[in-house]
Amino acid sequence: MNLGTKLRHAVSSFIFLGLTINATTVLAQRSRPPQRAPRNPGIASIVRQIDARNIERSIRQLAAFGTRNTLSEQNNPKRGIGAARDWLYAEFLKAAEASNGRMTVEKQSYEQAKAQRIPEPTIITNVVATLKGSQPEATDRIYVVSGHYDSMCNSPTDAKCDAPGANDDASGTAAVLEMARVMAKFEFDATIVFMAVAGEEQSLLGSTHFAEQAKQKNWNVDAMFTNDIIGNTLGGNGIRDRGTVRVFSEGVPSNETPPEATTRRSVGGENDSASRQLARFIKETSEAFVPNMKVLMVYRRDRYGRGGDHIPFLERGYPAVRFTEMNEDFRHQHQNVRVENGVQYGDLPEFVDFAYVANVARVNAASLAMLAYAPSRPKSVTIVPRLSDDTELRWEANKEPDLAGYEIVWRDTASPVWTNVKPVGKVTTFTLKGMSKDNFFFGVRAVDNEGNRSPATFPRPMSRNQPSNPAPTSSP
């Protein structure tokens, strides 16, 4: 990069920060995100109110149902998945009391036909708490956060064995319940769905049912987070890490079409799916509000060759990511509870770090809150593909009344995170002079009057036979 370009970076950072610092200082800071999320007091308060003691109580209670295998008893009030389902339903109802009627709770049930891990037709129930958004322009925009409340021992079809599932996945379920309890008191523009699903160990059945319903009803699910195995801080590798959470995101969308693949090969973007933008957004937002937690982006849909409840969403075109602890310990996942050669096996509460689960819940909640406070990410963002030293971006106007304007972000093509930002006001087209689209990746994000920011949208090339409206071009 030549000095002129560096100085342009410096100038745009300078404009954003509004600080009197010289260009050398700015250049030294280039590797850091130049855009700190604003100190939204609502988000700070949500982060403060999340309480590890509630999470511990929930995890111990869920483990105390003995097993929560999807094939276990549904009508026993003490043991089995039915007891867990009813307890979760009652807890979400309690959380909803603080919402002034904005949060509704339902059991979403269906009969699953026989399948590989379903020997007999089985009722599968998701417990779904919906906190309706208050802004008419944003209320149909939905953010889903989930954990799975079913569990398993060695065998996914063993309905009788003890399967405490404290980490997999009472941890994720307890985090979602705690988020619902805290966030029900707050009012957001967009809608948030807090969900505990079943049938995950039976091949993602509950989440698939929800995602398919969403698709059929044409819901605008703008992002989905799954929390699965978020409570162990001492890995099987002996490493203790209480300050990092992994966020898995896919680069190439699971539902990419052949024409989209052709475009991607032509202009790049294998690191710029909507899910990858979501991961960047989570890292940037949560590290501003939860500074003691580091978000490690992993450039994979899930762990190596494995799956989770975000996948049915990805397959239907909804951006989604998976949260998981940094170092897993496989002695405490999918294991019959037993002692072997002096080693305790089994997914027991004693191996869960409740304070860490609370921190992962805070990372989730800060990001979800920002998503639901902020305007929608800009739609129909395109780059005008003419041969030019400049880069011209266009997008559709947002409809939210509290929209303040837009920001263009960019980075070198090899950088994992956005490194630069330029506020451009309330416009729907902008030309970056002297910045070649060959050398950078760009994104456009929306900002509201309180400084809440959407994730960035990665532009597609404007098709060549598209009219070059709205902006006049210089061609004769």
Q: How far is the CB of 26 from Zn ion (least distance, A)?
A: 44
Q: How far is the CB of 156 from Zn ion (least distance, A)?
A: 11
CA distance 49 to 364: 13
Query: Do 80 and 68 touch, CB atoms closer than 8 A?
Result: yes
Query: Do 246 and 298 touch, CB atoms closer than 8 A?
Result: yes
Letters for 215-244 (x = contact with Zn ion by CB under 5 A, - = none) are -------------x----------------
CA distances from 136 to 3, 5, 333, 401 (A): 47, 42, 44, 10
Q: Which amino acid is at 181?
A: R
Q: How far is the CB of 453 from Zn ion (least distance, A)?
A: 31
Q: How far is the CB of 226 from Zn ion (least distance, A)?
A: 9
* Closest to Zn ion by CB, 150 or 222: 150
Q: Which region among 161-169, 202-210, 240-248, 424-432 touches Zn ion (by CB under 5 A)?
A: 161-169
* Closest to Zn ion by CB, 80 or 308: 308
Q: How far is the CB of 228 from Zn ion (least distance, A)?
A: 4
The closest alpha carbon to 231, from 315, 139, 327, 89, belongs to 327
Q: How far is the CB of 366 from Zn ion (least distance, A)?
A: 23
* Closest to Zn ion by CB, 308 or 378: 308
The closest alpha carbon to 281, from 371, 362, 168, 207, belongs to 371
Record the tokens describing residue 320, joined without a space: 């989604």
Q: Which region among 61-69, 166-174, 369-377, 421-429 touches Zn ion (by CB under 5 A)?
A: 166-174
Q: How far is the CB of 148 from Zn ion (least distance, A)?
A: 6
Using the CB atoms, write b or e for 155-184: b if 16+ within 10 Å: ebebbeebbbbbbbbbbbbbbbbbbbbbbb
Residue with tokens 């098709």: 463
* Closest to Zn ion by CB, 71 or 184: 71
* Closest to Zn ion by CB, 88 or 381: 88
* Closest to Zn ion by CB, 228 or 284: 228
* Closest to Zn ion by CB, 232 or 273: 232
List strands edge to edge, sheet with 391-394: 429-432, 391-394, 382-383, 460-461
Range 409-468, binding Zn ion (CB under 5 A): none
Record the tokens describing residue 291, joined without a space: 């500074």
Half-sphere exposure of 111 (CA within 13 A, CB side): 4
* Closest to Zn ion by CB, 162 or 169: 169
Asked if 168 is part of the footprint of Zn ion (rule: CB under 5 A), the reply reads yes
CA angle at residue 123 from 205 to 314, to 5 degrees?
15
* Closest to Zn ion by CB, 133 or 165: 165
Q: What DSSP assignment string belongs to 174-227?
A: HHHHHHHHHHTTS--SSEEEEEEE--STTTSHHHHHHHHHHHHTT-EEEEEEEE
Asked if 169 is part of the footprint of Zn ion (rule: CB under 5 A), the reply reads yes
Q: How far is the CB of 151 from Zn ion (least distance, A)?
A: 8
Q: Which region among 27-35, 132-140, 165-173, 284-292 touches Zn ion (by CB under 5 A)?
A: 165-173
Q: How far is the CB of 309 from Zn ion (least distance, A)?
A: 8
With a CB cutoff of 8 Å and minimum separation 6, the contacts of 259 are: none
The conformation of residue 416, written as its DSSP 8-state character, comes to: S
Q: How far is the CB of 229 from Zn ion (least distance, A)?
A: 6
Range 388-417, binding Zn ion (CB under 5 A): none
Asked if 302 is part of the footprint of Zn ion (rule: CB under 5 A), the reply reads no
The closest alpha carbon to 458, from 398, 401, 388, 409, belongs to 409
Q: Which region among 48-56, 119-127, 164-172, 203-211 touches Zn ion (by CB under 5 A)?
A: 164-172
Asked if 178 is part of the footprint of Zn ion (rule: CB under 5 A), the reply reads no
* Closest to Zn ion by CB, 146 or 398: 146
Q: Judged by CB under 5 A, how many residues of this single chain contact Zn ion?
A: 3
Asked if 347 is part of the footprint of Zn ion (rule: CB under 5 A), the reply reads no
Enumerate binding residues for Zn ion (CB under 5 A): 168-169, 228
